[in-house]
Amino acid sequence: MLKFFRKNEKASRWILIVGMTLLMVSWLVFDRSSTFMTDLLIGRATWATTVDGVTITEGDRLRMQQELRAISLLGDPTVRALGLEKDPVHWFLLTLEAQRAGLVGGVADGQTRLAETATANKVPEGNLLGALCRESGQTPTEVFETLAKLNGVDRYVNLITSGPARVSSTRLEQAAASLLAAVSGEIVVLDGTKSKVDVAAPSEAALQSQLATYGAMKSGEGKCGFGYRIGDRMQIEWLMLPAASIADLVQQSPALSNIELRKYWLEHQADFGLGGVSTTSVATTFDGSRDAVKAKVLAVAIQEKRLEISKFIADRLQMSMRGLSQVDGYYNLPADWKTSQLTLAALGGEVAAKFGIPAPAVVTNGEGWMTPAEINSLPGLGVATTNRFGAQPVTAGQLVQALRELGGKSTLIAQVGVVSPVLGNDAGDLFAFRATAVEASAAPASVDSAREALLADVTRLNRFDKLLGMTSEIQREAVDAGLSAVAATYGVTVEPFNDLRQSDKQFLQYGLKLPGQLAGIGADAATTRAIVERAMSLPSARLIADLPVGERTLVLPVPEKLAVVVVRIDRITPMNQGDLPALVNNQRFRSVAVTDPAAGNPQELFTKEALVARHGFTLVNPAKERDESDAAAPAPATDGAVPVAPAKAGQ
C-alpha cells in the first residue's frame, strides 16, 4: 500500500483530499445538531399519538428527556409544583398547549431567561450554560430553545391560574354560596392543655428531640407555636437621681427668696393676671400671686438644675474616656477596663459632692439576665428617654438592642462597658446606665435551660396524639349521649356558635376572606370550611334539627391548635341571593373565588391525567413504556450543577 502511494503521488494526493473533505462534512453535519443522528440511529418510529393527529416519535421522546434534565436543574417553582420534571409526557403536553397559545418564544427568549437566571444566582452565564449542556446532552441552541419552552409554560400557567376575570359565573356563585352560608350549633373543644387526658410524663429523650427541632425558633415561630430560642439578653447597672433630690436642692436656692420672687413678679406681671390693665383684685398684688410666682420660678429652676446636673454627668463621663481611641463612634476599651473604668458609684459620689445632694442610688440586676422588653418595664428607667441621638426620644430598651455586641445600629451608638447618655422621665428623675455583659440570641444549650416550656409543650402534644387516636370513641359518645356527656368526660364545657361563616360579606367585598370565630380555637379557616361543607351536604328537604344526630355531628382535628373539636350542626342559613350580583361583579371577590377550595383548584387543569385526557394521548407500546419507565426517569441534579430558583417568566 505504501509502495502504491509512493509511486502514485498524484493519485494519493487526490485520495487524501477527497477523504478529508468527506470527514469534515460528516463531522460538521453530525455536530450541527443531534437531530440527524437521532433520526439515523433511532429512526422515526412512532412513540405516541394524540386525538388531534399529532405524532410523537422516539426521537421526540429522547429530546424531551434531554429537556427534562435541563429544566430539573433550574428549580423553577412552576415545574416543582406540577412535577413536570418527572415525566416527558407531562412536559410535552403542557409545552404543546403553551405553544398553541402563542406563549413560547424563540432562542432569544431562552437566552434572556439564561441571563436572568445567572444574574439572580450570581454565576457566570457561561458556567450556567455549560452545566445545562453537560447535564442534558444538548447543544447551546437546544438549551435556549428548552428555556424558551419553560418561559412559555410559566406564562401559560400564570395566565390561567391568576386571571380572576376568567372565572365563570357558575364558579363564582358556588364560591359565594360556600363562603356566605351561616351555620349554627354547638362545639366542644378538647385540647392538650385543659382537657382531662392522662398521658405519661415526657421522657428526657422526647424533651431533647423537641428542643432539637424547635430550639432555634422563637416562641410562636414553629409548628403549633413551638419555639424556645432565648432572645438577646444582658446584665446592666444604673444610677438614679430622683426628682425629689433636685427639687429639695432648688428649694434652698436664693432664687426662691422673697426678694427674687418679687423681682420676677414685677418683670412678668402679665403672666399673673395684670396684662397692663389696672385692677384691685388680690391676684394683682405680689402677696396674692406669690404661690403662683414661686411655682413658676421653681419649675424653671428645677429644669435648669436638671440640665446642669446632666451636663456635669456627661462631661465627667467624657473625661473618663479621654485618651481612648474610637472607630465608627465605638471606643476601643483596654483589657483591664472593668477595673479601671469610672464606676457609677464613684460618679454618683462626685455628683453628690458637686451639688450638695444625697448620693444617687446605684442599682444592678445582679447575676440574672434581662431582655430589652424587661428593661423597658423597669419602674422609672423603663420610660426614661434621651434626645442625644436626634429629635426622636430613645429609650433604654432601644439602646440595649442597639449594642454593638448584638449587631449594632448605624443610628444608635452603644456598647458594653460604656455608660449611656443621661436619660430622664416625665417625673423628673435622671438616669445613666451601663450594660456590663450580653448574650446574643441563641437556642437553649440544654433541656434544663427551657425545661418548663418543653414539658408543657410535649405534654400538650402527647395529649393531642392520644385524642386523635380516640376520635371514633369520641364520635360514638357524642352521638349516643350528646355533647354535654363528652364535655363532662373531658372536664370542659359546651359552647354555642351562631352564624359561623367562612367569611363575611363586609370583608369579601374588599377581597378579604376572614373566617368566623369559634370558642376555644378562634378563627381557623380549615375547621370552619369543614363545618360549612358538612352542613351544605346535609339533605335540604328537612330541617337540619330533625335529621339524625349522627349525620350532623362531626369530630375534627385542629392540628395547629393541638385540639380536637366535636361539633353538632343545628341550623344552616343559605346566603342572601340579593348579595350575589354585587359580589359577582366585584373584582376583589373574584380574586378570592379563584382560590376558594369549594370552587375547585385551577392547577388541576395542568395535571398529567388532565392533559392526557384533554389531548387523547395514547402510547403505541404501553408495555414497553412500563418496562423502561425507571430508565427513562430524569436524572437528579449533580453536585456540580447550579440549582436555580428564578422568578417566573414575565413577572
Residues 6+ apart with CB under 8 A from 295: none
β-sheet bridge partners, residue 34: none
pLDDT band at 493 (very low <50, low <70, confident <90, very high): very high
User: Of 243 and 160, which is predicted with more confidence?
Assistant: 243
The pLDDT tens digits for 1-47 are 555 545 556 666 666 666 666 655 554 444 444 444 444 445 478 88
Residue type, 362: V
User: Of 38 and 646, which is predicted with more confidence?
Assistant: 38
Return the pLDDT at 649: 31
pLDDT at 140 over 50: yes
pTM: 0.54
The pLDDT tens digits for 248-258 are 888 887 777 77
Return the pLDDT at 1: 52
Is 302:428 a contact under the CB 8 Å cutoff? yes
Return the pLDDT at 54: 86
pLDDT at 636 over 60: no
pLDDT at 162 over 70: no
Q: Which three cell numbers stand for residue 513?
A: 376572606
Q: Which three cell numbers stand for residue 42?
A: 433511532
Which of 322, 331, 317 lies closest to 403, judged by CA? 331
The pLDDT tens digits for 259-301 are 777 777 777 777 776 544 444 444 567 777 777 877 887 888 8
- Map 537-592 to HEC letters: HCCCCCCHHHCCHHHHEEEEEEHHHCEEEEEEEEEEECCCHHHHHHHHCCHHHHHH
pLDDT at 635 over 50: no
**Angstrom distance (rounded) from CA 218 to CA 239:** 32
Q: What share of the chain is helix, strand, coil (3-state, %, to 5)?
A: 55, 15, 30
Longest dimension (CA), the chain: 148
Return the pLDDT at 629: 52
Return the pLDDT at 624: 59
Alpha-carbon separation of residue 39 from 22, 43, 71, 147, 252 (angstroms): 20, 4, 24, 23, 108
The pLDDT tens digits for 572-606 are 998 888 777 877 777 777 767 766 655 455 567 78
For the chain, the average pLDDT equals 83
The alpha carbon torsion through 348, 354, 358, 361 (nearest 10 deg) reads -10
Return the pLDDT at 208: 94
Return the pLDDT at 651: 33
pLDDT band at 74 (very low <50, low <70, confident <90, very high): confident
pLDDT at 451 over 90: yes
Return the pLDDT at 643: 37
**Angstrom distance (rounded) from CA 40 to CA 25:** 16
pLDDT band at 163 (very low <50, low <70, confident <90, very high): low
The pLDDT tens digits for 306-320 are 999 999 999 999 999
**Angstrom distance (rounded) from CA 94 to CA 219:** 44
Q: Which three cell numbers stand for residue 222?
A: 414553629
Mean pLDDT of 488-495: 94
The CB-side HSE value for 648 (13 A sphere, CA atoms) comes to: 16
User: Of 498 and 177, which is predicted with more confidence?
Assistant: 498
pLDDT at 467 over 90: yes
Return the pLDDT at 645: 33
Return the pLDDT at 161: 65
**Angstrom distance (rounded) from CA 61 to CA 47:** 7
Mean pLDDT of 121-143: 90
Alpha-carbon separation of residue 487 from 190, 194, 466 (angstroms): 8, 11, 16
Domain boundaries, the chain: 2-32, 41-165+604-632, 182-222+452-573, 234-439
Is 555:188 a contact under the CB 8 Å cutoff? no
pLDDT at 325 over 90: yes
Q: pLDDT over 70 for what percent of the chain? A: 83
The pLDDT tens digits for 389-418 are 988 999 999 999 999 999 888 889 999 999
**Angstrom distance (rounded) from CA 227 to CA 215:** 6
pLDDT band at 540 (very low <50, low <70, confident <90, very high): confident
Return the pLDDT at 34: 45
User: Of 611 and 261, which is predicted with more confidence?
Assistant: 611
Residues 6+ apart with CB under 8 A from 163: 594
